[in-house]
């Protein structure tokens, strides 16, 4: 049995637009009727439900921010009675109150379908053995991946995250062929595989990684270490969990499940749409969601969109790889710096390992950036000159790529904390 309708993914842009318009009208009406905070927001924008007749009217709608969801904590934004809510998740929220997300049976069905599409896009089938090493719990990665694996009929292992030794044991004993986990945990698993000398015995062929930004160079590293082909998957709890978009075999952007989620890219300052291909803030409108309506939700993530046809045959628009979030962007003496840019530099310098922490401080009213980075195996503090030369080289590369002065501090191999979930790359002391 197939869980989803493949025709949705290949319909023409005109057909898709008609479907989106119809669904958008319904979603706005539902939010108006069933969710008091949305009704208030729409009224404050001077809108009546009948004013929204299709996707062309999208810009008329007010943006929703994370604070709107926080203000309604925990259930204030739900549009169905709790007797209809079958699952709760919560976003990891590093600052302030977390946001709670509810799902009806219908919402869970759509999520499973979206995840099934993602796994299929990456090439997984019912014959695969899928090891889910995202965290299970309030975080959406574990259960989201899990039901996607089962939906395509694959053998799905709820490994959850952590206990790296046991993960390797499962690779070997269960013959896992597909791995789902964060890219930083995939790197860590790769190190453990190398240390255990078992790469030749692995059956892994596909890695599906997301939940945090990662660079193309990081992709190469993971592929090398684990001997698989990696795909980027994106999502966020408020919208769904993992499965909002994913790369296909072309790996040229992440196809957004546009029959459920309308994508816009806005200028971070003016909040006006930017042309396709220009980076801006990623905004989603959920047109089929029942429990938690979301209209023009500003994710604060930064990326581009490409609506041109893809060689894989899917007509859904593709998001570019995320460069970061507006709230993760560091401004160092006026220069915008994303951790992923630093990562890109580090991965290009021989002798630097891809484990790092950016420490930002303010000294005499001036911002300072220190990059603590691990030395690759084979480097030792005993060779003072060699280590100093490496620090100078990294500082020079960062200056030429980012235009910012950084103090580089080499750290011993293995000394920077490894991540089993989302990696923490910034320590901002300002």
Residue 299 interacting with ligand DLL (CB under 6 A)? yes
SS3 271: coil
Number of residues that bind ligand DLL (CB under 6 A): 22
User: How far apart, in whole angstroms, are the C-alpha atoms of residue 207 and residue 112?
Assistant: 19
Measured distance CA(43)–CA(136) in Å, rounded? 39
**Binding window for ligand DLL (CB under 6 A); candidates: 70-78, 136-144, 331-339, 383-391:** 136-144
Question: Which residue, chain included where needed, has tokens 């930064």?
Answer: 302
d(C-alpha 98, C-alpha 212), whole Å: 18
User: In the complex with ligand DLL, which residue's Cβ is closer, 242 or 253?
Assistant: 242
The single residue among 102, 149, 190, 213 that binds ligand DLL, judged by CB under 6 A, is 213
Question: Applying CB under 6 A, which of residues 97, 205, 229, 325 lies at the interface with ligand DLL?
Answer: 325
Please, which residue, 42 or 263, has the CB nearer to ligand DLL? 263
CA distances from 238 to 90, 91, 121, 389, 404 (A): 8, 7, 23, 46, 35
| Structural tokens at position 145 | 């991946």
Backbone angles phi, psi at 252, to 5 degrees: -130, 55
Say whether residue 290 binds ligand DLL (CB under 6 A). no
- CB nearer to ligand DLL: pick between 190 and 243: 243
**Sole window of 63-71, 222-230, 234-242, 366-374 interacting with ligand DLL (rule: CB under 6 A):** 234-242
Pick 241 or 253: Cβ nearer ligand DLL? 241
> Using the rule CB under 6 A, is 112 a contact of ligand DLL?
no
* 141 lies in the site for ligand DLL, by CB under 6 A: yes
Nearer to ligand DLL, 202 or 322 (CB): 322
Out of 116, 159, 204, 322, the residue judged to bind ligand DLL by CB under 6 A:
322
Per DSSP, 378 falls in state T
Q: Is 211 in the site for ligand DLL (CB under 6 A)?
A: yes
Applying CB under 6 A, does 242 fall inside the site for ligand DLL?
yes
CB of 73 to ligand DLL, least distance (A): 15
Considering beta carbons, is residue 179 or 390 the nearer one to ligand DLL? 179
Binding segment toward ligand DLL, per CB under 6 A, in 33-41, 55-63, 139-147, 199-207: 139-147
CB 209 within 8 A of CB 189: no
Neighbouring C-beta atoms of residue 280, cutoff 10 Å: 23
Among 232, 264, 367, 420, binds ligand DLL (CB under 6 A): 232
Cα distances (Å, whole numbers) of residue 334 to 39, 42, 78, 339:
40, 37, 41, 16
CA–CA–CA angle 285, 287, 293 (5° rounding)? 70
From CA 422, how far away is CA 242, in angstroms rounded? 14
Q: 152: left (phi > 0), else alpha (psi -120 to 50), else beta? A: alpha
Which residues here bind ligand DLL, judged by CB under 6 A?
91-92, 134, 139-141, 210-213, 232-237, 241-242, 299, 301, 322, 325
């Amino acid at each position: 049995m197939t869980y989803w309708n493949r025709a949705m993914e290949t319909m023409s842009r005109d057909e898709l637009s008609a479907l989106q318009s119809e669904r958008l009208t319904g979603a706005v009406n539902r939010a108006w009727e069933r969710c008091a905070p949305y009704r208030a927001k729409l009224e404050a924008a001077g809108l009546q439900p009948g004013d929204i007749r299709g996707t062309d009217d999208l810009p008329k709608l007010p943006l929703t921010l994370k604070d709107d969801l926080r203000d309604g904590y925990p259930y204030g934004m739900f549009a169905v009675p709790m007797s209809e809510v079958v699952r709760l998740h919560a976003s990891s929220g590093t600052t302030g109150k977390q946001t709670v997300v509810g799902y009806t049976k219908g919402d869970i069905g759509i999520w499973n379908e979206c995840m099934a599409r993602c796994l299929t896009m990456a090439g997984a089938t019912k014959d695969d053995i899928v090891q889910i090493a995202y965290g299970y719990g309030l975080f959406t990665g574990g259960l989201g991946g899990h039901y996607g694996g089962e939906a395509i009929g694959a053998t799905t292992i709820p490994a959850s995250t952590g206990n790296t030794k046991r993960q390797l044991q499962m690779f070997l004993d269960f013959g896992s062929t597909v791995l789902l986990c964060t890219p930083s945990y995939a790197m860590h698993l790769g190190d453990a595989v190398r240390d255990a000398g078992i790469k030749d015995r692995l059956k892994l062929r596909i890695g599906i990684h997301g939940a945090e930004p990662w660079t193309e160079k990081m992709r190469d590293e993971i592929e090398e270490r684990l001997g698989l082909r990696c795909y980027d998957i994106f999502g966020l709890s408020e919208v769904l969990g993992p499965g909002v978009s994913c790369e296909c075999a072309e790996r040229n952007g992440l196809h957004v499940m546009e029959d459920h989620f309308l994508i816009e890219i806005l200028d971070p300052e003016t909040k006006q749409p930017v042309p396709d291909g220009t980076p801006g803030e990623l905004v989603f409108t959920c047109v089929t969601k029942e429990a938690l309506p979301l209209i023009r939700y500003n994710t604060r993530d930064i990326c581009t969109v490409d609506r041109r046809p893809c060689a894989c045959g899917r007509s859904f628009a593709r998001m570019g790889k995320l460069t970061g979030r507006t709230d993760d962007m560091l401004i160092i003496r006026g220069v915008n710096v994303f951790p992923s840019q630093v990562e890109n530099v580090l991965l290009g310098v021989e002798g630097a390992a891809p484990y790092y922490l950016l420490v930002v401080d303010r000294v005499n009213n001036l911002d300072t950036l220190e990059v603590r980075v691990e030395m690759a195996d084979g480097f030792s503090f005993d060779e003072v000159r060699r280590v100093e030369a490496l620090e100078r080289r990294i500082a020079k590369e960062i200056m030429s790529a980012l235009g910012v002065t950084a103090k580089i501090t080499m750290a011993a191999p293995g000394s920077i904390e490894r991540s089993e979930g989302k990696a923490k790359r910034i320590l901002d002391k300002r």
